Amino acid sequence: MTETLLSDLEAILLVGGQGTRLRPLTLGTPKPLLPTAGVPFLAHQLARARSFGVRRIVFATSYRAEMFSEAFGDGSAFGLEIEYMTEETPLGTGGAIRNAAAALTCDPDAPVLVLNGDILSGHDIGAQVALHTARRAAVTLHLTEVEDPSRFGCVPTDGEGRVTAFLEKTPDPVTNRINAGCYVFTRSVINGIPEGRIVSVERETFPGLIEAGAPVLGYAEASYWLDVGTPAAFVKGSRDLVLGRLASPALPGPPGDFLALPGAMISPEAVVADGSVVGARAVVEAGARVSGSVLGDDCVVHAGAEVVDSVVGIGARVSSRSVLRDVVIGDGAVVGSGNELLAGSRVWPGVVLPECAVRFSSDV
């Protein structure tokens, strides 16, 4: 597929959510700033948007808003111009778009790209914008196909690609195409979103446009797509980026079996594989096994420990003979020797688990 390049496109990036499903990782850090394949998650979105010709991005912030400007500044490191618009109270997706639009500089008939700050996508943004412009649409949504659309609201379209409805979650969905969370608005359409109150684009803005007869289009593309809102999805997204399943200009190194950041120390007798990230100055000792996991900066995985499909926070320690599978360990936590944490366990920051405090089997 040849990607379509654009020029002078402005975008709004929605990053106001609290990321409650990812706690304890998000207790001190907004979800879009969590380290993902070696860099803050948003770095992948920013670099990819720039690769399509986006020149200016307005961040729609709310939760811990100041951390975004600390991380990305004026955007010059990405070849972008970044502005920040903060909601005093959360306004929903539509309200956030309307609030951020005050910082846009484009003409009323110009396309505006709207990105969600928790989505990894490999779709052709340029082709989506080109379709929107060619058809003079009010809004054009990226639609993706999923195996189980009953977990999402589905979006049926007619033979011309116009969206006909937004259907809530149902056990019998009429299509496997869902809203993938990337929109192209005509700038003037954003002005029609009510200002200063909570507005949902899915429940209010889009259905209202369809009812009024405005052209709302679906751009369907079955490329890589992932909502990283849960720990398991977050780990998968980082792993897929490291392995090269989704290309990212922001990846700090070539794709490979694992990514080690500066200062990381991995014993030759350790096994680190399956798209794992070993954070800066982190240590993986002899006999340890790390697979498909994200190890934060300055953490330690001691000899003989096993970490699989998990996140180990900044400065945390996993002691010898401990087993972690599908778990999240908060910053500064200590997992004592012989613990066995499985299937969605979460250890809060600073917590110290004594030796053999948690077991899922009788073997020690």
Please list the active-site residues: 169
Would you give the DSSP letter of residue 203?
I
201 class by beta-carbon count within 10 Å (0-12 exposed, 13-18 middle, 19+ buried)? buried
Q: Which of 170, 166, 266 is nearest to 206 (CA)?
A: 166
Is residue 215 within 8 Å of 157, Cβ to Cβ? no
Alpha helices, DSSP H, located in 227-289: 231-243
CA dihedral (251, 256, 257, 259) in degrees, to 10, reads -40
Q: Which residue has the tokens 């961040």?
A: 59
Please state whether the peptide bond connecting residue 24 to the residue before it is cis, i.e. omega within 30 degrees of 0: yes
Give the H or E element holding residue 158. Answer: none
Cα separation, 142 vs 325, in Å, equals 34
Cα separation, 83 vs 54, in Å, equals 13
Q: Tell me how many helices (H) and strands (E) the chain has.
A: 7, 28
Cα separation, 229 vs 22, in Å, equals 7
Is residue 29 within 8 Å of 41, Cβ to Cβ? no
Cα separation, 268 vs 360, in Å, equals 30
Q: What is the CA radius of gyration of the chain?
A: 22
Is residue 185 within 8 Å of 139, Cβ to Cβ? yes
